[in-house]
Amino acid sequence: METVSHEHQHRKQSVTSTSIDGLHEVAVVVENSRSGKTIYELRTLLFDPPAYSTSSSSNERKDSGKKRERNKQ
pLDDT tens column, 15-56: 999 999 999 999 999 999 999 999 999 999 999 998 876 655
Say what the pLDDT of residue 52 is: 76
Report how many domains make up the chain.
1
Q: What is the pLDDT of residues 47-68, one digit of tens each?
A: 999 887 665 555 555 555 555 5
Domain that holds residue 28: 2-72
Describe the strand order of the beta sheet including 23-32 as a list of residue ranges. 2-5, 9-17, 23-32, 38-47
**3-state SS of the chain?**
CEEEECCCEEEEEEEEECCCCCEEEEEEEEEECCCCCEEEEEEEEEECCCCCCHHHHHHHHHHHHHHHHHHHC
Whether the model pTM is above 0.85: no
